[in-house]
């Protein structure tokens, strides 16, 4: 394909992708979905806030005292596992996938392009869920300034240095927990059959942060809550614009049927064919 044809098509695809995300919501049931999201978020958030406070007062200091010393050599497998929840790795992987999908889209025509771009819309949802959750989490970390376990030499769950914007005072909320739960919710929202697998992934990542003495229990609970709420809010944004999700009567949001694995494989071979 000549560059003169490829570049205008690429520009059109980029413009359309941005326009569909920013267009006014049009789903007739979006108000019901907003109320449904608000009720669930407030109820779950209130319960989790009580749990977080209870953990800070009753359990955080005790739990970190049970963990092996930071830097224990035998924990090297966990140091590998925990990186699967590192926001930079997750976001760059998703962003790279978006770039590949976008660059290959102009090579396709008709139904093949529609299938390919529908995959891109779903990756957009996952990326934005994680990115926005991580961004908000970083703002909270710097503002709250909670010390990581044993910063200052003692198991002090109330060691704060507000607005410190320092790595050692960036314990609350856990960034890995935020990333893993936002990713888990987003993937499970699109493909419900993967729900238990994604929950297991998020729990493993959060557990690794505790054993490695990177966070207190309340940090990972707060991070999980943040990732869950943000991913749910982004899902509403997409559903209200008829993107990847549908709003059922009563405000419940379900994923729209997507292309099958066989279709995606066929289109991918077409996109990457010389």
pLDDT (tens digit per residue) in 230-244: 999 999 999 999 999
CA–CA distance, 65 with 211 (Å, rounded to integer): 10
Reported confidence tier of residue 2, pLDDT bands at 50, 70, 90: very low
All structural domains of the chain: 30-67+89-149+161-272 (1.20.144)
Structure tokens at 24: 């006014």
Prediction pTM value = 0.94
Identify the band that residue 6 occupies on the pLDDT scale cut at 50, 70 and 90.
Answer: confident
pLDDT at 167 over 90: yes
Residue 207's pLDDT band (cuts 50, 70, 90): very high
Is the pLDDT confidence value at 1 over 60? no
Q: How does pLDDT run across 242-267, given as a tens digit for each residue?
A: 999 999 998 999 999 988 888 888 88
Provide the pLDDT for residue 61. Answer: 95
C-alpha–C-alpha distance, residues 219 and 65, integer Å: 16
Greater pLDDT, 134 or 41: 134
What is the tens place of the pLDDT at every residue in 85-130?
999 999 999 999 999 999 999 988 889 999 999 999 999 999 999 9
pLDDT value, residue 4? 59
Q: Has residue 133 got a pLDDT over 90?
A: yes
> Mean of the pLDDT values across residues 49-72?
94
From the list 134, 144, 211, the residue with the least C-alpha distance to 180 is 134
Average pLDDT over all residues of the chain: 93
């Amino acid at each position: 394909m000549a560059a003169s044809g490829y570049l205008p098509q690429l520009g059109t695809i980029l413009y359309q992708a941005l326009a569909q995300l920013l267009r006014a919501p049009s789903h007739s049931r979006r108000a019901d979905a907003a109320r449904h999201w608000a009720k669930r978020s407030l109820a779950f958030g209130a319960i989790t806030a009580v749990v977080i406070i209870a953990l800070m007062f009753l359990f955080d200091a005790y739990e970190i005292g049970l963990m092996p010393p930071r830097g224990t050599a035998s924990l090297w497998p966990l140091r590998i596992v925990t990186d699967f929840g590192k926001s930079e790795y997750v976001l760059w992987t998703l962003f790279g996938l978006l770039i590949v999908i976008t660059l290959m889209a102009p090579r396709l025509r008709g139904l093949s392009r529609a299938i390919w771009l529908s995959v891109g819309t779903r990756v957009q949802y996952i990326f934005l869920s994680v990115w926005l959750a991580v961004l908000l989490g970083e703002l909270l970390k710097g503002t709250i300034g909670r010390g990581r376990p044993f910063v200052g030499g003692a198991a002090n769950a109330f060691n704060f240095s507000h607005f410190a914007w320092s790595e050692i005072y960036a314990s609350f909320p856990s960034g890995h927990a935020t990333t893993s739960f936002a990713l888990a919710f987003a993937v499970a929202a699109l493909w419900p059959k993967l729900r238990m697998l994604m929950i297991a992934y998020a729990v493993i990542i959060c557990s690794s942060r505790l054993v490695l003495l990177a966070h207190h229990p309340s940090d990972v609970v707060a991070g999980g809550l943040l990732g869950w709420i943000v991913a749910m809010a982004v899902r509403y944004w997409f559903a209200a614009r008829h993107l990847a999700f549908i709003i059922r009567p009563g405000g419940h949001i379900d994923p729209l049927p997507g292309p099958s694995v066989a279709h995606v494989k066929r289109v991918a071979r077409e996109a990457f064919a010389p």
